[in-house]
Amino acid sequence: MMLVTGAFGFIGSHLVEALLAAGASVIAVGHPSPGEGYLKELLERHHEGMVVPVTMDLRSAEQVIQLIERHAPEKVFHLAALSSHRLSVLQPHTFLENNVMALLNVLEAARRCEPSPKVVFTSSSSVYGDQSPPHSEDMPPRPKGPYALSKWIGEELVRGYASDYGLDAVVVRYFNVVGERCRTHNVFRVFADRIASGQAVEVNGRTVDGVFRPATRDFVYVGDAVEATVLASERGRRGEAYNVGRGEPVSVEELAHEMIAAIGKKVDVVRRELAHHESLESYGDVSKARRELGWSPKTDLRTMVRRYVRWYLAERAGTDPE
């Protein structure tokens, strides 16, 4: 039995599908909205009887303890979190309380359960802040903003429970995960929405010595990220963190042109200056995940874009991708 929090969200829903496809039974935990539609679709399609939906507030320690004691999962994948740098700056109390307390309750419930499940906490490359890439796991943290800080505090909690209580818990640090069902503020969705509606695509970057340099990011396909997450639950060492990205920088301007070509609708590309808190370059060193987890990303940018656009256009048309 596996337990997934954030199970109705972008990455969580793909993780649930992968676990079910591998023959596991899943306790799918999420907020009552917006995931009910996805859950209903999942149950109706294939997996009724293998997935148990649970809607709850993970900030309730008593409810989380009861949940884990009742189901006694072998593994807990904790993906549930509020995720937005911009909103976290406006709502710091909400982000820190939600993200930190939910994880603390999961770790404490896992510690109290006999036998304790292995816990995989999904963190973010935002813990590296504006340090020069490539970002490796041995870099000191430099989180900027409440969202990044909440993830770093979460990592420290994981390490504390691993060292103080011997809880088998690991961290995966996602870089820019993209793919089907991504959120509305994900760059894939933003670009696709603008192109499909005939609007110009805005590419962020920074003017350096009079020359505009588009931002670069480490885009990793959701299927590859899910594979790394599952491998971390199998092979990850207690208390360790693992980067999950492609390990290479991709220009957002290149992404824009790939998306335009895939959708087949010509629009302008407009250059914009990055906000002061945004890094010009960000990509990870994924050699540790390759070495210790036996994982490597398989999906290149063009394939990511083509898969996403196929899904996106079918979603807009109200049909199933063929």
Mean pLDDT split into 10-residue runs, the chain, 322 residues: 94 94 93 58 65 91 96 97 88 95 98 96 96 96 94 98 98 97 93 97 95 97 98 98 97 98 97 87 97 98 98 86 64
DSSP state of 113: S
Whether 317 maps to a domain, the answer reads no
pLDDT at 60: 95
Chain center to CA of 104: 19
What pLDDT, on a 0 to 100 scale, did the predictor assign at position 45?
Answer: 57
Q: Is 34 within the bounds of a domain? A: yes
* Domain assignment present for 17: yes
Domain holding 231, by residue range, is: 2-179+218-248+283-298
In a domain, 197, yes or no: no
- Neighbouring residues of 269: CB distance < 8 A, sequence distance ≥ 6: 200, 201, 203, 253, 256, 257, 260
Residues annotated as catalytic are 147
pTM higher than 0.85 for the full model? yes
Q: What is the pLDDT of residue 61?
A: 96
265 belongs to a structural domain: no
In a domain, 322, yes or no: no
What is the strand order of the sheet 269-273 is part of?
211-214, 201-208, 269-273
Question: Residue 35: its pLDDT value, please?
Answer: 47
Residue 115's pLDDT is: 94
Q: Which of 312, 40, 259, 311 is nearest to 322 (CA)?
A: 311
CA 299 – CA 179 distance, rounded (Å): 11
Rounded to the nearest 5 degrees, what angle is found at the Cα of 156, between the Cα atoms of 18 and 160?
95
Whether omega before 34 lies within 30 degrees of 0, making that bond cis, reads: yes
Residue 88's pLDDT is: 87
CATH of the domain at 238: 3.40.50.720
The answer to whether residue 321 is domain-embedded is no
72 Rama sector, left if φ>0, alpha if ψ -120 to 50, beta otherwise: left
pLDDT of residue 44: 61
Residue 271: inside a domain, yes or no?
Answer: no
Q: How many domains does the chain have?
A: 1
- What is the model's pLDDT at position 322? 59
Measured in degrees and rounded to the nearest 5, phi and psi for residue 254 equal: -60, -45
pLDDT of residue 294: 98
